[in-house]
Structure 1
Amino acid sequence: MPSLRQRVTTYFRQLSFIAEPRDGARLGSPRQGGDGSFITKYLEGRLDGENSPPDIYSGKEPSDLPDFPLSAYETGTQAITAACTGPDDGLTCVKRSRLHLSAGPDIDFIDTNQDQDFDVRKSPSLATIKSKLSAKTRGDPNANKGEKKKPNSRKNSTNQPPDAKGEKTTINVVVSLVSRTPAKEPQQLEDTVNQNTAATEEKDEAAGEPIAGVCDWKADREYAYGLSVSLYEENPITTEQSGSPIADCFGLVARGSSAALALADGVNWGEGARLAARSAVLGCLEYLDTAVFGPHGTAKATREVLVSLLRSFWEAHDCILEVGGALSTLTVAVIIPLGGEHAGKSVVCACNVGDSLAYVYSKTFGVREITQGSHDITSMRDMRDALGALGPVDGNKPELGNLTLSITIVEPGDIVFLTSDGISDNFDPVVGKFAEALTHDAAIEPRLATKRQNKSTSAIPATRYQGKDVPLVKNSRQGASTSTQGGLPIRPPRTKKTVGGLAQSNAENVVPSRPKYMRSHTVIEPRKSTKILSPDPLLKFPRSSAGLPLVTGAQRHKLTLLRLEDLLNYGINGTLKPCTSAQKLCTLLVDFAKMITSAKRKVLEQRESYVKLVPDEHGIRREVEMNRMQQRAARRRIVEGSTFQSLPGKLDHATVVAFEILPQSSV
């Protein structure tokens, strides 16, 4: 009887190794029974698409990418058609001072030669990126020419408890800028901060000031949607979920056929990681709302959008420092209609740092990764390494090692979606236990001999017992001459020998002419195939000792995209129709991540990991809840065990936000 581990592993393996053939219309090949899964087809070289997808351009600077002309697009607050953020209240839980941004015509967001420069915090790794924001201080006492903000801004990040009406819990932040006036006494400074905090609260409550240009952040649509869940286990005693709170955040603002998407994944757990993710999304969307979608920030070409994307990352980094957040990854995508020869299509300008990725799903070209230039797809990546992050990584400087700009062209009906590593990693074939990584230490499955009925029979012919005088073609029992195939031993004919002849034979022959033990021939010969061999034989791929395919880094990345495409085309059970909306795409991805990690959650939710039996004064054993340290130790023992490691999936916070490209006529 198979064990629970074997049954669970077999069940999840069937999610991709489904028996039904999945030759969609995109490949243009007829359906054939027993044609294998898409993993086998790809590894054998039978899954080459006829249509080549649009190119994906990537680089470190805007000048490294082509410059496409843009068409006219909607701008301003009145043009917003959809907006959403999450989880919970998302970026709306962070309130920051507006002193660092100016929405008027005094700010020029295009690289031009100006007399006055507004300094922003820079990192040596991006010394070539100069954020020149010229500010005219006419009539503005808050504008300090050429002065930097304090690295450690004063903040008040105390969470206010919600009242009985269920109002939103907000984090109110007041930023103190550097000025030429002498510093105040500590008590005076504290009073000023409290007064400014109270004034900010009254202003927001009275006027309902929009956040990042949006007044209603709960206006999601079927074509603009986001979803965030936790894949961690739940405490069966307290119903508390491990890894709480969810340290991811997403934001989406759509204006007709244009949109801005942002997704941040806080590094590690805790309030600091969640605050960093929320602040990063808020900072970048605030900047893009003014620089790209503001009334005075209309871009004419993609290079202008890329420059604004880079500056929005610095604004996100500054926002994290202002609110005192930890570290966070960030991926931002701006979708704008194209003009010129690409009229009718749209362009996706993306920028990312860390391991949060961006994709495009097309019913014609399948799934392709926009941010593939930010990581080496040919190597085996350590999924515990975020590769980069915003926030105070080194002092007040971020880690921008893999910061990458990307561009690709999309068509109406395509769906652009951003994911955290809790989604993308669970589609990895190695994480899903559908394949194993091909490394130097991988044990390759040995070439087995032909299957034998009698396992005690040696598959190697015993030719060393044949003497020189034994004929190899004569069979005395059948009375016919037959050729021995494979050098199989043939019993020599019996001859009558005298005593003298026997002694002479024993002296001359050191090795006897027949073996001491001889078994009948029980090896099953392979059936000769009558089919005509294909002129292009299928590629042979190695397998591990467990029978799973061994894949390289490039194959691993391609299989991840194929699994995403397979899910969006056929659903989890392989019987659904292709995905047609952003909302359905988010639901499918999250449901798949939940399903593939359910076995690990069930193992960690065992009651024995949270309670222990302790005898009372009467000798009766009763359950007593373990303390937090004991529960962590029990969880660590389970996670490090071989049984848990053999289960598919990765427990993490899973977040996805998607936008469907709309035709320009629908604006």
Structure 2
Amino acid sequence: MSRSIYFRKSGKSPRWSKKKKATSDILWARKPDDLPDARLKKMSFNLFAACTGPANGLCDVNEHLPSALITDINWNSKNRKAYGVSESLYEKHPISGKITGEPVADSYAIVARKDNALLVVADGVNWGEKSMKAARSAIYGVVRYVCQNLFTESQVFKTKELFKVLRSSVDAAHQVILETQGGLTTLCVAFVAPLSNSKQFAICIVNVGDSLGYVFSRHHGIREITTASHDITVERNIRDARGAIGPVRGNDPDLANLTCSMTFCDAGDIVFLTTDGVSDNFDPVVTKVAVAPKQTRSKSDSDAPIENGEEFTSVAYECGIAQDGRPEMTPSERHQYAVKEMERIIHEQELETEQSISAQELCASIILHVVKLTEKRRRILENPQVWKKLKSEEAKKKRDDAVREKLRAEPGKLDHATIVAYEIGVFQGNENENYEEESDHELVLCSSPGYGDYTAPIAQFDSFESESEQETTTTLKDDESDSISQKFEEFVV
């Protein structure tokens, strides 16, 4: 393919020109240089909110690798317009009270300034200290690098330059993981910046793995910005993160699905990033609203290796089984449904409060939804009878089969769930202010030779194989835990 700039919308794509009306198109490429360039305004240095988590988040890494760029930020300054939260969806042991999967292996950070913001989420692969360390180290590496290279006297003034900083921050995150001897993690980095000669903003995202980015707009609803990092038309193995940083092969990361994505938005829109503990729990097959067509089931799902004592059965996946009247949905239909379900949760919150949702309320609504969705699974695994020691193997097998059947009937996926959100606009000092939502929809695109007469194709995925023919990293649980959910939890439900 001669050019690697793609549109993520319909088959009809606008041409680039000096003046162009901004639309809801998603632009993406594998490398920053392959994206078109939009001019940016000079960005404000004035910080009004910052937070990290769970617990101390990236500050734990800063204790071992101290940096003034991190220390000088007040990481407890959450704001209704800039917020993040991590939650464990796993069960609690009925006797010890210990929560399965601890410590939480997700991490997040947000740094919001007057007219711009940096958002980051990471999802440590597997469980344990090394996974937690990888996620927090990645967040630390990104924030330190971006603050060091963006907020200087010689600011960047074009989106292509901004993307180069974000892309390099992924490498910086990988190096910090190696320094701290962490494990593997996914990573999603987003930066919101004001466009020159426009009331609009650019959202620039670089992601690797299955941590994803979205934008909620009053005009367009919710759009996933990172769709080019995963083929939404093909059945996927839900245990496969598709990419990760950290020592995947030797000291090298797996960047097979690393993607640079960009879109334009208005003041009042909310950009948010999630780990798969959130996004997977909106999949209608996971939530038991639908079943996957039998013919679309991937070989990687049905033939996935059984590790760490987990059992994986075709019955759990429910391909083409609609005995209770549930419809079959293709992968692309499932993706569309999931996005609309997120919209429903947001609109229900707005109807209840009779006002526009804030970034804080968006985070709370989404997390509360996935917590409620997975409640019955936790209750099954928190039953003391599940932990009772039985004398015979036959009795144990009968008990385990019964638990497995109960889990199979309930919606949701137990995981760590993280979301971080930012309401786009120019902050004037009041977290309750309403940003101006009107926009002139005009943006100035820098000259990009060769794009003038170029009609961009619908996003294609043939380039996914160019990075490596080896296996991508998978999100299987490690063998350190003896939890019941490790024994019974189905990854694909």
TM-score (norm 1): 0.55
* In the alignment, structure 1 residue 606 sits paired with structure 2 residue 383: yes
Aligned twin of 2:424: 661
Conserved in 1, the CA contact under 8 Å of 2:90 and 2:378?
yes
Other-structure match for 1:74: 44
Q: How far apart are the structure 1 equivalents of 2:169 and 2:398?
A: 40
Shift of the alpha carbon at 1:212? 3.0
Native 8 Å contact 1:317 1:398 kept in 2 = yes
CA contact 1:213–1:289 (8 Å) conserved in 2: no
Contact 1:83 1:214 in 2 (8 A): no
The total of aligned residue pairs comes to 384
CA contact (8 A) 1:213 1:286 kept: no
How far has the Cα of 1:441 moved from its partner? 7.9
The separation in 1 between residues aligned to 2:173 and 2:237, in whole angstroms, is 26
Write the distance in 2 (CA, Å) between the matches of 1:635 and 1:662.
58
Shift in Å at residue 635 of structure 1?
Answer: 13
Q: 1:401 to 1:659 in 2, by over 3 A?
A: same
Structure 1 CA distance for aligned equivalents of residues 256 and 32 of structure 2: 16
Q: How big is the shift at 1:666?
A: 6.7
Name the SS for the 2:245 alignment partner.
strand
Per chain length, whose mean CA-contact separation is higher, i.e. which structure has more relative contact order (CA < 8 Å, sep 6+)? 2
Cα distance in structure 1, aligned partners of 2:77 and 2:97: 31
Corresponding residue number in structure 2 for 1:290: 148
Runs (5+) with no aligned partner, structure 1: 1-51, 96-169, 174-203, 443-541, 615-629
Alpha-carbon separation, structure 1, partners of 2:43 and 2:104: 35
Please report how far the alpha carbon of residue 64 of structure 1 lies from its aligned counterpart in structure 2 after TM superposition: 2.1
Mapped to 1, the partners of 2:399 and 2:261 lie a distance apart of 40
Decide whether the 8 Å contact of 1:264 with 1:329 is kept in 2.
yes
Post-superposition shift, 1:610? 2.3
Within the candidate set 256, 261, 264, 2:122 is matched to: 264
1:581 aligns with 2:436: no
Structure 2 Cα separation of the partners of residues 365 and 547 of structure 1: 32
What is residue 273 of structure 2 aligned with on the other side?
418
User: What's the counterpart of residue 171 of structure 2?
Assistant: 314
Task: Look up the match of 1:253.
Answer: 111
- Retained in 2: the 8 A contact 1:283–1:315? yes
Tell me which residue corresponds to 1:167: none
SS at match of 2:58: helix
Gap change, CA 1:576 and 1:563, over 3 Å in 2: farther
Distance 1:318 1:647 in 2: 41
CA deviation map 1:154-201 (0-9, x unaligned) = xxxxxxxxxxxxxxxx5x25xxxxxxxxxxxxxxxxxxxxxxxxxxxx
Q: Is the 8 A contact 1:73 1:258 kept in 2?
A: yes
Partner of 1:305: 162
Which residue pairs with 2:310 in the alignment?
none
- 2:314 is the counterpart of 1:561: no
Distance 1:72 1:569 in 2: 34
Partner of 1:597: 374
Distance 1:400 1:239 in 2: 38
**Structure with max Cα Rg:** 1
Quote the RMSD (CA, aligned, Å): 2.5
Work out the CA distance in 2 between the residues paired with 1:257 and 1:310. 21
Q: Distance in 1 between matches of 2:47 and 2:177?
A: 26
Aligned mate of 1:552, from 307, 330, 347: 330
Return the letter of the residue paired with 2:387: Y
In the alignment, the residues of structure 2 paired with residue 372 and residue 58 of structure 1 have an alpha-carbon distance, to the nearest angstrom, of: 9
Quick one: distance in 2 between partners of 1:74 and 1:409?
19
Equivalent position SS for 1:648: coil
Per-residue CA deviation, residues 378-399 of structure 1 (Å, 9 max, x unaligned), is 1111110000000000000000
* Matching of residue 352 in structure 1 with residue 214 in structure 2: no
Q: Which residue of 2 aligns with 1:384?
A: 239
Distance 1:53 1:298 in 2: 26
The one-letter code sitting in structure 1 at the alignment partner of 2:108 is F
| 8 A Cα contact 2:140 2:173, kept in partner | yes
Q: Extract unaligned runs of 5+ from structure 2.
A: 1-21, 298-319, 431-493
> Which residue of structure 2 lines up, in the alignment, with residue 242 of structure 1?
100
CA distance in structure 2 between the aligned counterparts of 1:66 and 1:557, rounded to whole angstroms: 27
Distance in 1, Cα, partners of 2:56 & 2:397: 34
Matched residue, 1:447: none
Q: Secondary structure at the match of 1:377?
A: coil
Distance 1:634 1:392, change over 3 A: farther
- Given that residues 427 and 563 in structure 1 are in contact (C-alpha distance below 8 angstroms), is that contact kept between their aligned partners in structure 2? yes
Aligned-partner Cα distance in 2 for 1:597–1:275: 26
TM-score (normalizing by structure 2): 0.74
Q: Share of identical aligned residues, percent?
A: 41
**1:596–1:402 CA distance, 2 compared to 1 (3 A):** same
One-letter code of the match for 1:219? Answer: S
- Aligned mates of 1:639, 1:88 — CA distance in 2: 37
Q: Using the TM superposition, give the Cα deviation of residue 640 of structure 1 relative to its aligned residue in structure 2, in angstroms.
A: 7.4
Matches for 1:162-181 after TM superposition, within 5 Å: 170=63, 172=64
Show the counterpart of 1:9.
Answer: none
Tell me, yes or no, if structure 1 residue 651 matches structure 2 residue 422.
Answer: no
Q: Residues 244 and 226 of structure 1: is their aligned pair in 2 closer, same or farther, counting only changes over 3 Å? A: same
AA at the equivalent of 1:651: L
Residue 132 of structure 1 corresponds to which residue in structure 2? none
Which residue identity does 1:218 align to in structure 2?
Answer: N
Is the 8 Å Cα contact of residues 183 and 246 (structure 2) preserved in structure 1?
Answer: yes
Deviations 1:77-115 (A, max 9, x none): xx21110000000000013xxxxxxxxxxxxxxxxxxxx
Check the 8 A contact 2:211/2:276 in 1, yes or no: yes
Give the distance between the partners of 1:662 and 1:54, measured in 2 at CA: 17
Show the 5 A alignment for 1:360-375.
360-375=215-230
> What per-residue deviation string (whole Å, max 9, x for no partner) do you get for residues 592-621 of structure 1?
01000000000000011223489xxxxxxx
Quickly say closer, same or farther: Cα 1:606–1:319, change in 2 above 3 A: same
The DSSP-based 3-state class of the residue aligned with 1:424 is: helix
Amino acid at match of 2:31: E
Change (3 A) 1:386 1:324: same
Q: Displacement of 1:578 after TM fit? A: 6.2
When residues 557 and 563 of structure 1 are mapped into structure 2, their CA distance, relative to the original with a 3 A threshold, is: same
1:261 to partner: Cα distance? 0.5
Pair 577,379 (structure 1): closer, same or farther in 2 beyond 3 Å = farther
SS state at 1:261 partner: strand
Question: Residues 449-474 of structure 1, C-alpha deviation per residue, up to 9 Å, x if partnerless?
Answer: xxxxxxxxxxxxxxxxxxxxxxxxxx
Cα distance in 2, alignment partners of residues 238 and 299 from structure 1: 53
Matched, 1:641 2:404: yes
**How far 1:297 moved relative to its partner?**
4.2
SS of residue in 1 equivalent to 2:272? strand
Indicate if the aligned counterparts of 1:570 and 1:578 stay in contact, CA closer than 8 A.
Answer: no
> What is the CA-CA distance between 1:66 and the residue it aligns to?
1.5
CA distances 1:212-265 after superposition (whole Å, capped 9, x unpaired):
364311111010000001000001111110000000110110111200011000
**Does the 8 A contact of 1:639 with 1:645 survive in 2?**
no
Q: Distance in 2 between matches of 1:653 and 1:379?
A: 25
Deviations 1:615-657 (A, max 9, x none): xxxxxxxxxxxxxxx9xx9999369723211210000000000
The equivalent of 2:78 in structure 1 is: 220
Distance 1:414 1:394 in 2: 39
